[in-house]
Structure 1
Amino acid sequence: MKKKMMAVMMVLAMASVSMMGCGTGASGDAAASAKTASTENGSAKEGDVYKVGIVQYVDDASLNQIEAAIEEELAAKGAELGVTFDFADYKYNGQADSTNLNQIATDLVAKDVDVIIPIATPAAMIMQNATEDNQIPVVFSAVSDPVGAGLVESMDAPGANITGTSDALDTNAIMELMLAANPDLKTLGLLYDKSQDGSIGAIEDAKAFCDEHDIAYVEKTGTNNGEISLAADALVAAGVDAVFTPTDNTVMTAELAIYEKFVDAKIPHYTGADSFALNGAFCGYGVNYAELGTATADMVADILVNGAKPETTPVKTLDNGIVTVNTETAKAIGLDYTMFADMAEALVETKTAEEFQ
């Protein structure tokens, strides 16, 4: 009751200041104070407007799919709850540039947004750093290893102003797909960006699997499209039997430019997301990214409208198990994938395109 009385007194006081000539800024602050008080009590009022910052790390099919799903679900949740999630004025794309991302973080803090949604690990890490002092809630999406990246203390209890959804990868399941398609696999290529924190754990898991199964591996990395292209050439020259890439955004942005290198060499490219297969890779394995975006938006609504606390809201993971195969690539390299249907929750077929329809 005291909090509600204080909120009313603040609104009346700020309204009085506004009438004395301080302009619209004061009344806007009063509205924000009233909204904050109601949110802390888990009782948002109909008509409340929440400023939602969305920060996409880079343009690629997976992250674009997540961002679109977040927008769609926030619009639906707003209509359902009688509030408005205003994201149209606070959407950014960092284009894989840390300078851009830091400037975006500064802008969103200055605009006093109610929540920030970073999509992918590098964006999440920068938004976390930018909100340590102001404690703006951060709800990330598509972070493969939130604990390993230092974003949360644990998956069940994040411990700070940050939580979100993870696209954690079952690397061993992908390795088993490789062996099912080619039991004689002798050498595996590992293609990734070593500066992508979300890739490191999966690569280590892949190495451990190779060691256990007496499979040699060749490791090639890059930090931009040109370097990834050269790395792909090197793996082809090394004569690897297959290539593995985890949920790596740098390789994802280069996939359309490199997949034909592997196709021409008859080398299957196994990856950690369906968007790779859409962009020409033989196989993608992992979560449904549209569902991941929807789950992220639901967490945002719960925090802003219902007063859920990020520090005690568990990081959400989705069940892995969806295999996506590019049928054009499979035909070109002459590889049978029918056995995958018995090894996964679902087997989806796709053809090469730039974006999901």
Structure 2
Amino acid sequence: MNKNRRLLALSIALAALPTQAFELLPMASMDDNHVFKLEVLQVTDIEPYQEALNGFLDTLKSQGIEQGKNLKINRVRIDFDVENGGFWSRLGVLFRIRQEAARIAAAKPDLALTIGTPATRHARGILEDARVPVVFTAVADPLEAGCVSLSDGGPGVTGSTLYVDMRDSVRMVQQVFPAVKKIGMIHTDDENGVANVAAASSSASQIGMSVTARQVGKSDSIVPSLKAMFQDGKGVQMFAVPLDTYYGLHRYEPAIDLGEFGAAHQIPVVTLAMVHVPGAVMYVGADFRQVGSLAGVQAGKILRNRTKPDVLPILRQKTPTMLIDPERAAALKLDLPSAIVAHKTATRNGFWQVDWEQVRQQ
């Protein structure tokens, strides 16, 4: 009876406290000596994925979570021959992803980071069932990774996406190349490439530009398609590179051939993804390191505050990054708009980084 009276008295005392008093109560936090366990899962080992991971880890470090101190990482890279990957090869990759997801589920880490769409899409269900928090990054379209929307990751999942509004990207291209009306884009059956070209085509048509697209096989040379689309100066006026794995194959041979073809015929090459394209005069798109950093922001909340992934929105870069190669622009005798020159904010590996928000406001 005495115990019940004490509980009743405590309840009455708490009820009498002002609301502000509860705000002074400290939130439960993780033990400072706790070592966080992170599992990283990805398909293929490409430079942009490494950039995304670097951004992710840098942001965790800024929040006091650092590898070698209080963070232990196990990273698995599943090999996949993008060029020769047929049905059985893709099936094998799916099996490997699910196999690794089951292993991660059994290991019960504090967090799983999935890099890219395939790893996210095929691992998330298993990890959700095991109640392992999932954060993803370097996903071009969250819907393709099983998310509810561009901002809602669904049960047990959050992260960051490479998705940018293609209308912004195309307007940025038009700002630098106002005379260009016809753009050529070459892609494969890569899911991201197909989606990127479709979005560019739709956005370009809204501002008086058009996109001519050709699909090639991953083992095909890009040169015949370039010649057919250029038509000795009577066809497309520019080539734009989509987010497609094709351009990184054969030690970037398609990208190099595209750059050299553009230089030989004085036709500009722009890329609508932040991937290495030798000879491109302009890069527009989401920055892999920045997108990885955004995933790190959400991961820090999950690890430090035990926040559920479900309540955290998917983050994305609101404005595409814009880079200009001044040497290539000079070689093309390109007269850059004064607004572009006035708002270059930094030099990055020899490229100008341009503040598009400032340019747009003029």
TM-score, length basis structure 1: 0.72
Corresponding position: 1:301 with 2:292: no
Return the alpha-carbon distance in structure 2 between the equivalents of residues 346 and 321 of structure 1: 14
- 3-state DSSP of counterpart to 1:90: strand
Q: Which residue of 2 aligns with 1:170?
A: 165
Summarize deviations over 1:6-57 as a string: whole Å, max 9, x none: xxxxxxxxxxxxxxxxxxxxxxxxxxxxxxxxxxx96322222332122344
For residues 289 and 203 of structure 1, the distance between their equivalents in structure 2, rounded to whole angstroms, comes to 19
Q: How many residues align?
A: 305
Separation in structure 1 between the aligned mates of residue 207 and residue 65 of structure 2, nearest angstrom: 53
Q: Which moved more, 1:262-271 or 1:312-321?
A: 262-271
Preserved CA contact (<8 Å) 2:29 2:305: yes
Decide which of 27, 30, 33 is 1:47's aligned counterpart. 33
Shift in CA distance, 317/182, structure 1 to aligned 2, threshold 3 Å: closer
Query: How far 1:146 sits from its partner (Å)?
Result: 0.9
Match of 2:229 among 233, 238, 242: 238
**1:105: how far off?**
4.5
Q: Which runs of 5+ in 1 are unaligned?
A: 1-40, 353-357
Query: Does the 8 Å CA contact 1:193/1:223 hold for their aligned counterparts?
Result: yes
Give % identity. Answer: 20
Number of the residue aligned with 2:138: 142
Task: Determine the C-alpha separation between the residues in 2 that align with 1:205 and 1:83.
Answer: 44
Paired position in structure 1 for 2:261: 261
- 1:108-137 per-position Cα deviation (integer Å, ceiling 9, x unaligned): 531424322122223322222543533432
Larger radius of gyration: 2
Distance 1:351 1:237 in 2: 32
Whole-angstrom CA distance in 1 between matches of 2:32 and 2:322 = 42
Equivalent of residue 209 in structure 1, options 200, 203, 217: 203
Question: What is the CA distance between 1:346 and its match in structure 2?
Answer: 5.0
How has the CA–CA distance of structure 1 residues 83 and 195 changed in structure 2, closer, same or farther, with 3 Å as cutoff? Answer: same
The one-letter amino acid paired with 1:333 is L
Q: What secondary structure sits across from 2:290 in the alignment?
A: helix
The 8 Å contact of residues 183 and 211 in structure 2, kept in 1 or not, is answered as: yes
Quote the offset at 1:171 in angstroms.
Answer: 1.8
Question: Using the alignment, how far apart are the partners of 2:304 and 2:199 within structure 1?
Answer: 39
Structure 2 unmatched runs, 5+ = 1-26, 83-89, 231-235, 352-362
Q: How does 1:88-103 map to 2 (within 5 A)?
A: 89-92=74-77, 94-95=79-80, 98=90, 99-100=92-93, 102-103=95-96
Cα deviation per residue 1:267-309 (whole Å; 9 max; x = unaligned)? 22222333335x4422111233322222212212221331111
Equivalent residue for 1:128? Answer: 124
* Contact 1:193/1:250 (<8 A) preserved: yes
Q: Residues 178-213 of structure 1, C-alpha deviation per residue, up to 9 Å, x if partnerless?
A: 3334333242112333332x4444422322234344
1:63 Cα offset (Å): 2.3
What is the TM-score normalised by the length of structure 2? 0.71
CA RMSD, 1 decimal = 3.4
**Alpha-carbon distance change, 282 to 127 in structure 1, aligned in 2, over 3 angstroms:** farther
